[in-house]
Structure 1
Amino acid sequence: MKTLRIVYWISTAIIALMMTYSGYAYFTDAKIDQAFQHLGFPAYFRIELAIAKFIGVVLLLAPVGGRIKEWTYAGFTFTFISAGIAHGISGDPMPVPVVPFVFFAVLAVSYFTYHKLNKSK
């Protein structure tokens, strides 16, 4: 049980830190604005996505349950899968489209350990 809790918190912390960093970068890094243009997204989408990431991090770490937590995981899932597809279709070099799927795998570990921990309560 203790190992499961450690795996949950490490995987959740990785996702939370990455999403916080990327949300911050969406507001402050001009290269991110260029990347969104390269992907064909409108400028306002970058801001919306940054705000959604910050909200998602709060909900991921908060002691909420039920549908709110499920939708938080779903939102991050959509974000990672969409990012991988967008980078792949736009012709980015091979490591770039794979990175979101790596984070998706970490998110999946967090999701499944979250449910295992809650089943045992």
Structure 2
Amino acid sequence: MQTHLAKALQHSADGKSATITRSGWTWSRIRSVAFWVTTFVIVFELTAGSVWNLLTIEWIEVQLHHLGYPHFFAYVLGAWQAGAAVAIIAPGLPLLKEWAYVGAFFLWSGAVVSHLSVGDGLQSWGVPLMFGACAVASWVLRPADRRLPQTRLRRDRSAGAGQDGATSPDIRPRAWVVPIGLLVVLYAVSFLTLPVMEDVMREQAVELGWINE
């Protein structure tokens, strides 16, 4: 009975795997797409956040005041957000990536706790919660060349290992073209959309009662 059940489950799994393969969506491809989508989301938020904090727009000022943080905290956050964006999107640098992911998680989880501590509702802490979840997903789904050797998955080691059993990340100058280009675009978008976003965030601050219209 158990043998027949095991065969039936294996046949079902093989059938599903074959269906996914025929459609062109293997687990490896799904994982890669999910990784880059979540990574793009958090890197975009980190770049935009660094611009907002370093320029200390009105939304940042009223939010810091609302949460009870000092004004200079914005510059600290902005500088570290810029560094984390570079570390996460850059090729190689696995140790820096670990610290960047940890910092990003602390940033957004800290924002959630800060808003909860002053009694804010989902409208205030739901967004940082979403970014924190994306940071965790990006970290979990990161490929072998973005992991420290001791944290690589067994299948990553067998798929990408060389003679020494380790994966050598592509850190040639050409590998930096796309990350640098992406960062330039994201920062350009952040600066160009800043006037519009300031108006939008001011309306939200008024709606939340943080400032008077």
TM-score using structure 1 length:
0.90
Name the SS for the 2:119 alignment partner.
coil
Structure 2 runs not aligned, ≥5 long = 1-27, 145-152, 161-213
What's the CA shift string for 1:26-58, capped at 9, x where partnerless? Answer: 224112111101111111111110110001000
Larger Rg: 2
What's the CA shift string for 1:68-121, capped at 9, x where partnerless? Answer: 11111000011011000001112223321222111111111100110xx21422
- Work out the CA distance in 1 between the residues paired with 2:81 and 2:87: 10
From 23, 33, 37, the counterpart of 1:10: 37
Q: Deviation of residue 11 (structure 1)? A: 0.5
Structure-to-structure mapping, 1:87-102, within 5 angstroms? 87-102=115-130
Which has the higher mean CA deviation after the structures are superposed, 26-35 or 49-58? Answer: 26-35
Q: Does the CA contact (< 8 Å) of 2:39 and 2:135 recur in 1?
A: yes
Structure-to-structure mapping, 1:1-121, within 5 angstroms? 1-26=28-53, 27-114=55-142, 117-118=143-144, 119=153, 120=156, 121=160
Q: How many residues align?
A: 119
**Identical positions, percent:** 25
Which has the higher mean CA deviation after the structures are superposed, 7-16 or 19-28? Answer: 19-28
Higher helix fraction: Structure 1 or Structure 2? 1
- Runs of 4 or more consecutive aligned structure 1 residues displaced over 6 Å after TM superposition: none
CA RMSD of aligned residues (A): 1.3
- Work out the CA distance in 2 between the residues paired with 1:32 and 1:105: 22
Q: Which has the higher contact order (CA 8 A, sep 6+)?
A: 1
